[in-house]
């Protein structure tokens, strides 16, 4: 899920080092290694590891949304009506689960 909220400060250039734990390889963190990471960069990196993207806010960073579109992964666009959003989420996740099985 991507949101409108961003944080005020960038992560340090040591984020890749701090992410290293069992199951995470240097290859997976290479794209952020040694770089200061801002909100948009972090979200774009997470798009690489998700099965689909849910836009949970009306105004999400356009750079992030464009990156998500270019990933060719399923995207659930922002839904203005909360009831419609709940139904749309259920349908969206069902479709992703069907694809994965």
The answer to whether the CB of 58 falls within 8 A of the CB of 80 is yes
For 53-86, write each residue's pLDDT tens digit: 999 999 999 999 999 999 999 999 999 998 899 9
Q: For residues 25 and 94, which has the higher predicted lDDT (pLDDT)?
A: 94
Q: Which tens digits make up the pLDDT trace of 14-59?
A: 777 777 767 777 777 777 777 778 888 888 888 988 999 999 999 9
Say if 7 falls within a structural domain. no
Residue 56 lies in a domain: yes
Flag whether pLDDT at 101 surpasses 70: no
What is the residue range of 95's domain? 15-100
What is the band of 100 on the pLDDT scale with cuts at 50, 70, 90?
low
Strand partners, 55: 2
Q: Cβ(45)–Cβ(24) under 8 Å?
A: no
Distance of CA 66 to the CA centre of its chain: 12
Domains in the chain: how many in total? 1
């Amino acid at each position: 899920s991507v949101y409108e909220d961003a944080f005020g400060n960038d992560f340090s250039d040591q984020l890749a080092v701090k992410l290293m734990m069992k199951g995470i390889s240097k290859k997976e963190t290479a794209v952020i290694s040694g770089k200061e990471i801002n909100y948009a960069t972090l979200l774009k990196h997470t798009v690489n590891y998700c099965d689909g993207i849910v836009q949970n806010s009306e105004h999400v960073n356009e750079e992030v949304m464009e990156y998500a579109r270019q990933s060719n992964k399923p995207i659930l666009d922002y839904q203005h009506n909360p009831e419609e959003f709940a139904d749309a989420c259920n349908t969206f996740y069902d479709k992703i689960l069907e694809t994965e099985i």
